[in-house]
Amino acid sequence: MNNIYPTPLDEIKYIKKKYGFETAKKLGQNFITNREVAKDIVSGSEAINSIVIEIGPGIGTLTALLAKEARAVIAIELDDRLIPILEDRFSPYENVKIIHSDVLEIDLNKVIEEATKEFGKSEVKIIGNLPYYITTPIIVSLLKGKIPARSITIMIQKEVADRIIAEPGSKKCGAITYLAHYYSKPRLICEVDKENFYPMPKVDSAVIKLDIREKPAISVANEELFFKIIKAGFMQRRKTLVNSISHGGQFDKGEIIKALDALGIDLRRRAETLSLLEFARLSAILAEEKHNG
């Protein structure tokens, strides 16, 4: 198929006609129509000789390029209508496996273990063009799940990408910023205009890479509480830390004020102004107060 049709858009038209396939809006399907964009993703992911876990291969535009670089590509696709299309397309490839599953439900550790047994030990790279509607849950699941991967290279909505790569404590940051920087080193690969997709979405995208840290950026005694406090801090991001965290219901205002005073943090500050370390120290003091109380 790649040799017959010069562009991914031609491939999409061919598949629609041959298989009677139509994209599903509810699945957030926006397929890449610019092969140069796909090449940028492959290049940025540094997939050479790696075991690649591809999330949402779609019709396989990115998969085909990855298969030429990677030791193996394990493509996980949710849409059952695409499974026969992908299996047909990649039947000649010995290093491509198609799995019909939801990436949020499948045991990726087991998938990687089986791929390593079949294709040999190699660095694992997670790559994908993620549906906008489920981007954050996938990123959270991958990072918190501590998958044995070297990096995660994903194309996502530009606004979300900007938030992830922002520095903690800056205007653009959000709760996802702290999670990403805690577990990885995020960076921008490229920005992608909305005209490079079919169907064309309403917003632009960006490709980012998360290089997974060997150990978290800082030491935290209770990760669950740490992230709960960060999330609570950003639930009402225009309010002060005292008001936003107390609104979460786990700590009252008196406990929060006492903890902030102990850290020398101005009570007027908002969540977006705190560093990773400040949130870590705040969570530690609040945990101690709750334990002693």
**CA distances (Å), 234 to each of 58, 132, 144, 208, 214, in order?**
34, 20, 19, 23, 27
- Give tens-digit pLDDT for 18-34: 999 999 999 999 999 99
Q: Is residue 100 part of a domain?
A: yes
Q: Is residue 3 part of a domain?
A: no
Number of domains in the chain: 2
The residue assigned the tokens 């499948």 is: 106
Based on the domain organization, do 22 and 46 belong to the same domain?
yes
- pLDDT of 186 reads 98
For 188, which DSSP code? Answer: E
Asked which of 181, 212, 243 is the last residue of a domain, the reply is: 212
Residue 100, pLDDT > 70, answer: yes
User: Under a CB-based contact definition with an 8 Å cutoff, are residues 255 and 287 in contact?
Assistant: no
Domain assignment of residue 271, given as a range: 223-292
Q: Is residue 13 part of a domain?
A: yes
Residue 1, pLDDT > 80, answer: no
- pLDDT of 237 reads 85
- E-strand spans in the chain? 31-32, 51-55, 72-77, 96-100, 124-129, 151-157, 184-192, 197-198, 205-212
Mean pLDDT score, 135-154:
96
Residue 86, pLDDT > 70, answer: yes
Residue 290, pLDDT > 80, answer: no
Q: Is residue 218 part of a domain?
A: no
Based on the domain organization, do 36 and 140 belong to the same domain?
yes
Based on the domain organization, do 264 and 133 belong to the same domain?
no
Q: Is residue 126 part of a domain?
A: yes
CATH of the domain at 242: 1.10.8.100
Based on the domain organization, do 179 and 249 belong to the same domain?
no
- pLDDT of 292 reads 65
Based on the domain organization, do 118 and 248 belong to the same domain?
no
Backbone phi, then psi, for 187, in 5-degree steps? -155, 155
Q: Is residue 2 part of a domain?
A: no
Binned at pLDDT 50, 70 and 90, residue 249 comes out as confident
Asked which of 163, 190, 212 is the last residue of a domain, the reply is: 212
Mean pLDDT score, 184-205:
97
- For the chain, give the mean pLDDT: 95
Closest CA to 161 of 187, 200, 127, 195: 187
Q: Is residue 1 part of a domain?
A: no
Asked which of 212, 244, 268 is the last residue of a domain, the reply is: 212
Based on the domain organization, do 183 and 286 belong to the same domain?
no
Based on the domain organization, do 155 and 270 belong to the same domain?
no
Closest CA to 184 of 129, 147, 232: 147
Mean pLDDT score, 96-109:
97
Question: pTM (2 decimals)?
Answer: 0.94
Based on the domain organization, do 184 and 272 belong to the same domain?
no
